[in-house]
Amino acid sequence: MKVEKFKVLLYLKKSEPDKTGKAPIMGRITLNRTMAQFSCKLSCTPGLWNARE
């Protein structure tokens, strides 16, 4: 029986803030070591982003 591993990660791309200082929210989906990254088309101020939650 093959076990498949699935992960979803949301992170803030702090290296590219816009004019208002907000950074884009990015997503990453991993399935069995195959990765796909995408933009969520949303942004957040870095001070409000909690990477641990």
pLDDT in tens, 1-52: 889 999 999 999 999 899 999 999 999 999 999 999 999 999 999 999 998 8
> 39 lies in a domain?
yes
- Is 31 within a domain? yes
Residues 13, 24: Cα–Cα separation, whole Å:
6
Nearest Cα to 6, choosing from 35, 26, 27?
A: 35
Question: Within 13 A of 37's CA, how many CA atoms are on the CB side?
Answer: 6
pLDDT of 30: 97
Q: Please report the pLDDT score of residue 25 as a whole number.
A: 97
* Full residue range of the structural domain in which residue 14 is found: 6-44
- Counting the structural domains of the chain, the total is 1
